[in-house]
């Protein structure tokens, strides 16, 4: 890449069909790649014929572009000596608000997981905050996830010598210090420059596991390298409409000993409407033009990133396709996004090694049930599945006591999402602090409940009072109104 490329040359290639961009002092031809960009083509077209380094670096690891493009797409080095005032004026920064680090409270002042989200609301960019905190439509499921944990009450036992409590357990054969994994969340660089490497390093230092996401901001190799060489990770898979791409990912994972389980996300066949995300985009620079004079392609629905970024997900993916996944992967298969007893049983019958009861943190179907309700439904309608495979849960888990409640209902472990993503604003130290808070809260809840180790409490409903939640459960299949009506016909 020794050849120098001038400003005059670059500005000639400023349209979607002929799209050269400067990234970190190098010039790339992104015309072929842009339509396949997981962040949507508009993110790229916006910088056609310009310097897109700032936006690129906000979301991606420096070497990602070099690794992703062919030699033919690498056009040369940017010739700084040809810079003109017109070029400088054209490099207008994005209009989204910037984080204000002065607004960020010191890490030592954060004492629970909500504090991490609130800190990010103050100090993260508006756009990143909308993306991370956002959920579907009216946020019904988002809010229910959290508030329904609060409708499940303990029945503590006393005088049981709780001087020593043990929170250790295993997940898919991996030893962990507590039953917690960090949820897969796309583009963690939106929260802080270390992105998923902070999550990986923080998880390893805390003795828990990070499940990395398909649309991560760093490469799989970089994320694995953030932890000691033998430290375990999980991998979350979105199946691509172009199946050969997924096959290539699965093949790569086969060579990576650190990856111990494959979480296939199935609750997002289409990306839902995330209104905060859509609104931020429409408020943004909607009139920005390419050098060629074309308008930006924000459509009438708004400009939601989540919607464009998820367009590669294969909505035809179905139960039969698990056999295809099995053919290409020897990892334990975990179906993430189970929302009913019927589908939990299906996963068990298909021979899956695990499930995650999840509604994508309220980011998929709005009005989908709170996850704790689904876990209770599984306990009531298909208790046998807990012996046949690992049952995990995520969505609104914010307290150590929530973890204990999940375990008492039979869960192997819980996933925690947004608070960990927000903790990345404090780099890996933030992730470790969030994990330490959970660990401390879990130990306290166990002691006060009279539980000294998790195996003793797992699946033991005697520690819980579920009556407040039971009114929200669907009626068992045989007793439902429709079943009764049908039986009369």
Ligand X SMILES: Cc1cc2nc3c(=O)[nH]c(=O)nc-3n(C[C@H](O)[C@H](O)[C@H](O)COP(=O)(O)O)c2cc1C
Residue pair 278/204 in contact by the 8 Å Cβ criterion: no
3-state secondary structure of 104: coil
H-helix or E-strand containing 422? helix 418-423
Footprint (CB under 6 A) of ligand HEM, residues 229-258: none
Residue pair 39/281 in contact by the 8 Å Cβ criterion: no
Strand 333-338 relative to strand 354-357, pairing: parallel
Pick what 358 binds: ligand HEM, ligand X, none; C-beta below 5 to 8 Å, kind-dependent: ligand X
274 counts as binding ligand HEM under rule CB under 6 A: no
Among 176, 183, 209, 373, binds ligand X (CB under 6 A): 183
Catalytic residue (choose from 13, 129, 360, 392): 360
**Binding piece for ligand HEM, criterion CB under 6 A, among 65-73, 196-204, 388-396, 406-414:** 65-73
447 counts as binding ligand HEM under rule CB under 6 A: no
Pick what 361 binds: ligand HEM, ligand X, none; C-beta below 5 to 8 Å, kind-dependent: ligand X
Among 14, 176, 333, 416, binds ligand X (CB under 6 A): 416
Q: How far apart are CA 312 and CA 325, in angstroms?
A: 17
Footprint (CB under 6 A) of ligand HEM, residues 124-143: 131
Among 339, 353, 421, 423, binds ligand X (CB under 6 A): 421
What number of CA atoms fall less than 13 Å from residue 363's CA on the CB side? 25
- Could you tell me if residue 28 is left (phi over 0), alpha (psi between -120 and 50 degrees) or otherwise beta? beta
Smallest separation (angstroms) from ligand X to the CB of 18: 32
**Residues in contact with ligand HEM, shown as a per-residue x/- string from 78 to 117 under the rule CB under 6 A:** ----------------------------------------
Smallest separation (angstroms) from ligand X to the CB of 386: 20
**Binding piece for ligand X, criterion CB under 6 A, among 88-96, 209-217, 346-354, 476-484:** 209-217
3-state secondary structure of 260: strand
Please indicate whether residue 37 is annotated as part of the active site.
Answer: no
Residues β-bridged to residue 354? 334, 390
Catalytic residue (choose from 42, 115, 267, 427): 267
129 counts as binding ligand X under rule CB under 6 A: no
418 counts as binding ligand X under rule CB under 6 A: yes
Residues β-bridged to residue 175? 170
3-state secondary structure of 429: helix
Please indicate whether residue 299 is annotated as part of the active site.
Answer: no
213 counts as binding ligand X under rule CB under 6 A: yes
Q: How far apart are CA 288 and CA 20, in angstroms?
A: 17
265 counts as binding ligand X under rule CB under 6 A: yes
Can you list the pairs that 235-238 forms with residues at least 24 positions away whose Cβ atoms lie under 8 Å?
235/211, 235/259, 235/261, 235/262, 235/263, 235/331, 236/184, 236/211, 236/212, 236/263, 236/264, 236/265, 236/336, 237/262, 237/263, 237/264, 237/265, 237/325, 238/214, 238/265, 238/268, 238/310, 238/312, 238/313
Footprint (CB under 6 A) of ligand HEM, residues 33-62: 33, 37-39, 43-44, 47, 52, 55-56, 59-60
Alpha helices in 60-112 (DSSP H): 64-68, 85-90
Among 145, 226, 272, 353, binds ligand X (CB under 6 A): 145
Footprint (CB under 6 A) of ligand X, residues 312-351: 336
Catalytic residue (choose from 238, 290, 426, 463): 238
Measured from the CB atom, the residue of 303 and 396 that comes closer to ligand HEM is 303
Q: Quote the DSSP letter at residue 27.
A: E
Residue 309 to residues 268, 270, 277, 288, 473, Cα–Cα distance (Å):
12, 11, 12, 20, 34
Measured from the CB atom, the residue of 39 and 179 that comes closer to ligand HEM is 39
**Residues in contact with ligand X, shown as a per-residue x/- string from 225 to 244 under the rule CB under 6 A:** -----------x--------
Strand 464-465 relative to strand 153-154, pairing: antiparallel
How many other CB atoms are found less than 10 A from the CB of residue 342? Answer: 12
Smallest separation (angstroms) from ligand X to the CB of 398: 8
Positions that interact with ligand HEM (CB under 6 A): 21, 23, 33, 37-39, 43-44, 47, 52, 55-56, 59-60, 64-65, 68-69, 131, 186-187, 190, 215, 305, 309
Catalytic residues: 238, 267, 360
């Amino acid at each position: 890449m020794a050849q120098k490329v001038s400003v005059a040359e670059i500005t000639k290639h400023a349209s979607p069909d002929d799209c050269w961009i400067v990234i970190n002092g190098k010039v790339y031809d992104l015309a072929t790649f842009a339509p396949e960009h997981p962040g949507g083509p508009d993110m790229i077209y916006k910088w056609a014929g310009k310097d897109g380094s700032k936006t690129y670096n906000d979301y991606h690891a420096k070497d990602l572009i070099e690794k992703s493009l062919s030699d033919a797409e690498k056009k040369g080095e940017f010739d700084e000596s040809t810079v003109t005032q017109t070029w400088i004026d054209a490099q207008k920064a994005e209009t989204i608000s910037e984080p204000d680090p002065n607004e960020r409270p010191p890490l030592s002042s954060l004492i629970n997981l909500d504090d991490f989200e609130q800190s990010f609301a103050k100090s993260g960019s508006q756009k990143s905050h909308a993306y991370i905190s956002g959920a579907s439509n009216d946020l019904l499921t988002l809010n229910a996830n959290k508030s329904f944990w609060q409708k499940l009450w303990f029945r503590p036992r006393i005088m049981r010598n709780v001087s020593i409590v043990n929170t250790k357990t295993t997940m898919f054969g991996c030893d962990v210090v507590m039953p917690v994994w960090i949820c897969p969340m796309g583009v963690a660089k939106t929260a802080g420059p270390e992105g998923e490497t902070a999550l990986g390093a923080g998880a390893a230092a805390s003795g828990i596991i990070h499940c990395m996401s398909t649309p991560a901001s760093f490469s799989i190799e970089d994320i694995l390298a953030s932890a000691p060489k033998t430290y375990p990770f999980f991998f979350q898979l979105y199946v691509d409409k172009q199946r050969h791409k997924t096959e290539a990912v699965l093949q790569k994972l086969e060579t990576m000993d650190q990856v111990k389980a494959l979480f296939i996300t199935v609750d997002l066949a289409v990306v839902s409407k995330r209104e905060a995300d859509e609104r931020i985009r429409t408020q943004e620079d909607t009139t920005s033009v390419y050098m060629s004079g074309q308008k930006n392609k924000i459509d009438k629905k708004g400009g939601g990133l989540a919607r464009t970024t998820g367009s590669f997900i294969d909505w035809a993916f179905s139960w039969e396709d698990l056999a295809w996944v099995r053919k290409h992967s020897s990892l334990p298969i975990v179906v993430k996004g189970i929302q009913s007893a019927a589908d939990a049983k299906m996963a068990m019958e298909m021979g899956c090694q695990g499930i995650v009861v999840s509604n994508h943190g309220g980011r998929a179907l709005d009005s989908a049930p709170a996850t704790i309700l689904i876990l209770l439904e599984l306990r009531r309608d298909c208790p046998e599945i807990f012996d046949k495979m690992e049952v995990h849960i995520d969505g609104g888990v914010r307290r150590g006591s929530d973890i204990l409640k999940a375990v008492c209902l039979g869960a192997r472990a819980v996933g925690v999402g947004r608070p960990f993503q927000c903790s990345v604003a404090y780099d890996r130290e933030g992730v470790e602090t969030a994990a330490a808070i959970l660990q401390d809260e879990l130990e306290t809840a166990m002691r006060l409940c009279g539980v000294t180790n998790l195996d003793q409490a797992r699946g033991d409903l005697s520690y819980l009072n579920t009556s407040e939640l039971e009114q929200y459960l669907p009626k068992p299949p045989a007793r439902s109104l429709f079943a009764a009506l049908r039986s009369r016909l």
